[in-house]
Amino acid sequence: PEAITVQELANRMAERGADVIKALMKMGVMATINQTIDADTAELIIGEFGHTVRRVSAADVELGLEGEADIDDHLLPRPPVVTIMGHVDHGKTSLLDALRQTDVAAHEAGGITQHIGAYQVTLPSSKKITFIDTPGHAAFTEMRARGANVTDIVVLVVAGDDGIMPQTVEAIHHAKAAKVPILVAINKMDKPDANANRVRQELLSHELVTEEMGGDVLTVEVSAKTKMNLDKLEEALLLQAEILDLKANPDRSAVGAVVEAKMERGRGSVATLLVQKGTLKVGDIFVAGAEWGRVRALLDDRGRNIDSAGPAMPVEVLGLQGTPQAGDVFVVVESEARAREITEFRAHREREKQAAAGARSTLEQMFSKI
C-alpha cells in the first residue's frame, strides 16, 4: 500500500505539521511528524483541510515538489523524442547510425547495444528529432519499458526478411502501455527476401492496422544499409510530431529523466539526461533520484562541451555526487541545501520501501496538493 509521512503530507498541503497531527488525532490516529500514514487516511485528512486529492504519477510528484507548472504562453514547440524499439538484430542501431551519419554500431562490442543511448538529429530543414536507442536483449526489457515513458513516438523496427518476432511483440506492448503512437520502419528492404506486405499482414494480428490496410499506423520501407527512404521516415516522424503538438517551456529550471548513468574512471558519475522542460545549464544544482549534483560540464551526443540544454535535448552531465538510476526523474533545485534535503528524504523513503517486504518497487500513486 502507498504511504506518506505526516511531514510530507503537511508540506504538500502547505499546512502546519502540528495541525495535521491534531486532525489525525481527531480521527483516532496517533502519529508523529515522521511517521507514515496510509493513502486512505491521507485522503481523509486532505479532505478535512478542504484540499482536493489528485493521484498522480511518481514523476509528477517529484516535479510537484518544486510546485512549478508550465505557463501556457511560455510554451514553445520542441523536438519529438523518438524511441527505437524492435527485435534483436533487426537494425535499430544501424538505422540510428544511418540517421546520424555516424557509425556507433561498428564500434560496439559484438555489434550489440549495451546501453540506452540518446541522440539528436538535425534535419536539413533544421528541425530536430531526438532518438533513444534501446538494447535488443530480452534481459533489458525493463530498461526498454522505461524508455517508452519519456517517449513521444515509438519507431518499431521490423526486419523485412524476418517479420514480427517475440521482442517486436514486447515492444508493441510497451508502446501501447505508454499510449505512444507507433510508426513502423520495415527495415532491410535491400534484402531480396524482404517482404513488407507480409510484415503489414503480421502487424494486423497485434492490432496494428497499417494505412495500406485501412488503418492509421504509418509504415515506411527503409534500408539502413542503402539509406533508402530515411528522409521519408524523418518526414513521417515530423508529421506525427506536428499532430502531437509537442511543446515545452524552455524558460524555467530544467526537469527531465535519467536515460543512463554510470561511474567512469577519472570522470566520476556520468549521466545521460533527457531534458523534458526548461533549460539545464552549467552550474545548476539538481537532484536525480536519490542523488544530487552541480552541473560541472554538459556534453552533447557527440561529446562536445555545451553551456545549456533545452527541451528534448539529451546531454551527458558531469558533477553528480553519486550514480542515479536509469529512469530516475531529475529536477533542478535552488540550492545545495534543498538538494540535500530532497535526496535525504528519498534515501529515507528508499530504506522504508526496502524494509517493507513485498512492497511494490515504484511509487505509482502518491498524493499531491492541488
Residue closer to Mg ion, measured from CB, 78 or 92: 92
Residue closer to ligand GTP, measured from CB, 94 or 269: 94
Pick from Mg ion, ligand GTP, none: which does 94 bind, CB < 5 to 8 A by kind?
ligand GTP
Residue 151, annotated as binding a ligand: no
Counting Cα atoms < 13 Å in the Cβ hemisphere of 69 gives 5
Residues in the interface with Mg ion (CB under 5 A) total: 3
In angstroms, give the least distance from the CB of 236 to ligand GTP.
Answer: 17
Among 36, 93, 120, 167, which residue sits at the site for Mg ion (rule: CB under 5 A)? 93
Residue 147, annotated as binding a ligand: no
Residue closer to ligand GTP, measured from CB, 94 or 308: 94
Residue 87, annotated as binding a ligand: yes
In degrees rounded to 5, what are phi and psi of residue 318? Answer: -110, 145
Among 90, 92, 146, 277, which residue sits at the site for Mg ion (rule: CB under 5 A)? 92
Interacting stretch for Mg ion, rule CB under 5 A, among 52-60, 86-94, 238-246, 332-340? 86-94
Pick from ligand GTP, Mg ion, none: which does 90 bind, CB < 5 to 8 A by kind?
ligand GTP
Residue 133, annotated as binding a ligand: yes
In angstroms, give the least distance from the CB of 132 to ligand GTP.
Answer: 13
Residue 86, annotated as binding a ligand: yes
Q: What gap in Å lies between CA 284 and CA 292, rounded to an integer?
A: 11
Residue 303, annotated as binding a ligand: no
- The answer to whether 90 contacts Mg ion (rule: CB under 5 A) is no
Residue closer to ligand GTP, measured from CB, 109 or 355: 109
Q: In what order do the strands lie in the sheet with 81-86?
A: 117-122, 128-133, 81-86, 153-159, 182-187, 219-221
Interacting stretch for Mg ion, rule CB under 5 A, among 89-97, 238-246, 249-257, 326-334? 89-97
Pick from Mg ion, ligand GTP, none: which does 223 bind, CB < 5 to 8 A by kind?
ligand GTP
Residue 189, annotated as binding a ligand: yes
Place of cell 522505461: 146
Residue closer to ligand GTP, measured from CB, 81 or 85: 85
Residue 88, annotated as binding a ligand: yes
Residue closer to Mg ion, measured from CB, 48 or 89: 89
User: Which residues would be at the binding site for ligand GTP (CB under 6 A)?
Assistant: 86, 88-94, 105, 111-113, 135-136, 187-188, 190-191, 223-225
Residue 166, annotated as binding a ligand: no
- Residue 150's nearest CA partner among 278, 292, 326 is 326
Which residue numbers belong to the known binding site? 86-93, 133-137, 187-190
Name the residues that contact Mg ion, by CB under 5 A.
Answer: 92-93, 113
Residue ranges at the known binding site for GTP: 86-93, 133-137, 187-190
